[in-house]
Amino acid sequence: MPIIYRSIQPLEYAFLKEMLYEALFVPPGKAKFSKAILEEPAIKKYVANWHQQKEDIAIVAVVENNLIGAIWGRKFRATNKGYGYVDDNTPEISMAVKAAFRNKGIGTALLAHIASVYRRMGIQQISLSVDQLNPAKALYERNGYEIYKVEATAFTMLKHLKTPS
């Protein structure tokens, strides 16, 4: 079953909220968050009013017309920082893949796709936040992300994007 990677369509923006919930790391042995967490301002801002900025980029992974994963990024401001905030010029990305499709290279492909889009836009770097216990940290490191800073139990990671030659 081939996987298609493409830009999200306006009718699919609600899928970002679903994937945002999936992206919230729950340490082993802890209870999942209530879905009400998606309405908290610190979380909601990752998908609210999607596609209002030109740097709001979202790519979905699709199998047989079913959305199975997404990666998205947007710029935050110093006055409204995201968890992986670096500066006003660095988009922060988030990503999730439905559980049944994990560990199949989809996350790696999504990371490559969003880096390529931002690179073509002239963006110099992208960031993300990952819990120190989250196994996804190894995926990010394999894909060129480096620890930029440590805050509480999370790492802010940064990937420098080289412009095409």
- The torsion angle over the Cα atoms of residues 81, 59, 106 and 146, rounded to 10 degrees, is -30
pTM of the entire predicted model: 0.94
CATH fold of the domain at 3-123:
Aminopeptidase (3.40.630)
**Cα(116)–Cα(111) distance, integer angstroms:** 9
pLDDT 10s digits, 15-73: 999 999 999 999 889 999 999 999 999 999 999 999 999 999 999 999 999 999 999 99
User: What does the pLDDT read at residue 4?
Assistant: 97
Q: What percent of the chain has pLDDT over 90?
A: 95
pLDDT at residue 151 tops 60: yes
**Cα(61)–Cα(45) distance, integer angstroms:** 22
User: What does the pLDDT read at residue 128?
Assistant: 98
**Residue 163 pLDDT level (bands cut at 50, 70, 90):** low
Contact between 5 and 109 under an 8 Å Cβ cutoff? The reply is yes
Question: Where do the H-state alpha helices sit in 64-153?
Answer: 106-120, 136-142
Q: What is the distance, to the nearest Å, from the Cα of residue 10 to the centroid of all Cα atoms in its chain?
A: 18
User: What does the pLDDT read at residue 165?
Assistant: 54
**Residue 162 pLDDT level (bands cut at 50, 70, 90):** confident
**Cα(73)–Cα(58) distance, integer angstroms:** 7
Lookup: tokens for 31: 């209870």
pLDDT 10s digits, 83-137: 999 999 999 999 999 999 999 999 999 999 999 999 999 999 999 999 999 999 9
Domain boundaries, the chain: 3-123
